[in-house]
């Protein structure tokens, strides 16, 4: 199947300029980047795509075997990079897509000029034995997934505002709720398990490309300790704490987010 149609790939911006690939997180699609794209496309070639199962991707390409782990998504990312043949790219991964970028860059570092890990979490579950704080207990995650299984639409309405943060701007939570509700519940249930049960802490040290860890100043999903952990584990990475709050700075603070991406991507070449 053609990668461009499978993942609804769109390429915009300046032809021949450094390439920035924007990868969305759980329950979202490429539309979540719409507010940062105008600032980026002035100086970069910008690649947007939908993970299989999301947005306008080809839903017939989704199957539970391929996408039961992050590796299926990583395969897609690497296929996309090879198909576009635009040279080494700066991969911007939001939330769970940050770990897709980590795995992809560890596997084929030559494909990447750099990584931007936006609100990343290598493991959402606390690990008392090592002192790692992911932000959730194992029981919290079990309850979250049980609630999602029982009533996906109800779960979306309750969780999206928590994930988005910014209660003073309810329209942001409403947009995320709508995005969640557009996702096929069967696909969302499996992707939620992949997102919230994966543990990629050991993979961080395998990253050898320039990396920017961009965390939000307040994030109920990926607390500051998580960003600090990611930064500490990836050799020679940079850490920036955005003034943005919540887990989706590309919507809550698009100008600041675009500025951080552009500054790093420009220097990564």
- Enzyme catalytic residues: 95, 219, 247
Nearest to 19 by CA among 41, 50, 3: 41
Q: In the numeric block, which tokens belong to residue 214?
A: 């961009």
Q: In the numeric block, which tokens belong to residue 16?
A: 């021949």
Q: In the numeric block, which tokens belong to residue 97?
A: 């897509």
* CB within 8 Å of 263: residues ≥ 6 apart: none
φ, ψ (nearest 5 deg) of residue 139: -65, -35
Please give the helix or strand (H or E) that residue 250 lies within, else none.
helix 249-252
Q: What is the DSSP string of 81-121?
A: HHHHT--SEEEEEETHHHHHHHHHHHH-GGGEEEEEEES--
Other Cβ atoms closer than 10 A to 236: 9
Report the distance separating Cα 208 and Cα 167, nearest Å: 38
Give the DSSP letter of residue 198.
Answer: -
3 state DSSP class of 25: coil
Q: In the numeric block, which tokens belong to residue 172?
A: 């942001």
């Amino acid at each position: 199947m053609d990668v461009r149609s499978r993942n609804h790939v769109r390429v915009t911006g300046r032809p021949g300029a450094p390439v920035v690939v924007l990868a969305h997180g759980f329950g979202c699609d490429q539309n979540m980047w719409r507010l940062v794209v105008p600032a980026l496309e002035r100086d970069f070639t910008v690649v947007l795509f939908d993970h299989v199962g999301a947005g306008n991707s080809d839903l017939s390409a989704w199957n539970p075997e391929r996408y039961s782990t992050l590796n299926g998504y990583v395969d897609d990312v690497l296929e996309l990079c090879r198909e576009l043949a635009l040279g080494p790219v700066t991969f911007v991964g939001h939330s769970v897509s940050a770990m897709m970028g980590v795995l992809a860059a560890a596997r084929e570092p030559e494909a990447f000029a750099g990584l931007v890990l936006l609100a990343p979490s290598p493991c959402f579950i606390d690990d008392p034995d090592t002192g790692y704080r992911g932000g959730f207990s194992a029981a919290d995650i079990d309850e979250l997934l049980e609630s999602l299984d029982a009533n996906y639409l109800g779960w979306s309405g309750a969780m999206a505002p928590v994930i988005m943060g910014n209660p003073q701007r309810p329209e942001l939570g409403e947009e995320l709720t709508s995005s969640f509700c557009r996702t096929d519940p069967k696909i969302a249930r499996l992707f939620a398990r992949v997102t919230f049960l994966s543990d990629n802490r050991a993979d961080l040290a395998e990253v050898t490309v320039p990396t920017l860890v961009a965390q939000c100043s307040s994030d109920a999903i990926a607390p500051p300790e998580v960003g600090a952990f990611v930064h500490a584990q990836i050799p020679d990475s940079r850490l920036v704490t955005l003034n943005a709050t919540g887990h989706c700075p590309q919507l809550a603070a698009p100008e600041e987010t675009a500025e951080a991406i552009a500054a790093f991507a420009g220097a990564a070449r």
